[in-house]
Amino acid sequence: MNLSFQSGEQIAVLGPNGSGKSTLLQVISGAILPTEGTIVYRNATGLIPAESIYREVAISAPYLELIDEFTFGEIVRLHFHFKKVLPGFTMEEIIVQSGLSQSRDKVYKYFSSGMKQRVKLALAFFSDVNMLLLDEPCANLDQDGINWYQDLVRQFSLNRLMVICSNTVEEEYNFCSRKLLMTDFKL
């Protein structure tokens, strides 16, 4: 692959299960190292060292684990201890925006899979970062959750790079102007 992504782009990475979408997303995020080649990160001020990219990135994926024993409110506080909150929002407003304010004090392990996905998406979208990486963002969401996700995209994706990995649900990526097929990069 020889790709370049720009701030403000919305890119869909598409392909069947096992095609490497999630791996690509994790490599872009800096969570895993590429087996070959390099990734260069830049912003308006110049190069960003790979070890500092975590400050610029928020990732949401069904396979990411959060602390089961924490309440939703505790998870939000912990997350935003390490990430800046999107300007104009408080942690309480993020909880309300998630649609889960009635579950603020509920222990995360008792959340349904759809509620857990909302938490992960809220943490990503309300982080003050330049890059949003979303792996199967509509996984486990009902139609209300999908509508909520699409509202987040409309409201909070401007001037940020969004990379969305998907294999089925067009509602996850139908707004993307650029679509990459993983099968185009396979030998």
Over residues 69-85, the pLDDT tens digits come to 999 999 999 999 999 99
What's the rounded mean pLDDT across residues 137-164? 94
Q: What are the structure tokens assigned to 187, written together? A: 């030998």
pLDDT at 187: 67
Average pLDDT, the chain: 92
- Phi, psi for 60 (deg, rounded to 5): -130, 130
Radius of gyration of the chain (CA): 16
Burial class (CB in 10 A: 0-12, 13-18, 19+), 103: buried
* Global confidence as pTM: 0.93
59 pLDDT more than 90: yes
Dist. CA 138–CA 172, nearest whole Å: 6
For the chain, domains (ranges, CATH) are 10-185 (3.40.50.300)
Dist. CA 30–CA 24, nearest whole Å: 10
For residue range 3-26, list pLDDT tens digits in order. Answer: 889 888 999 999 999 888 999 999
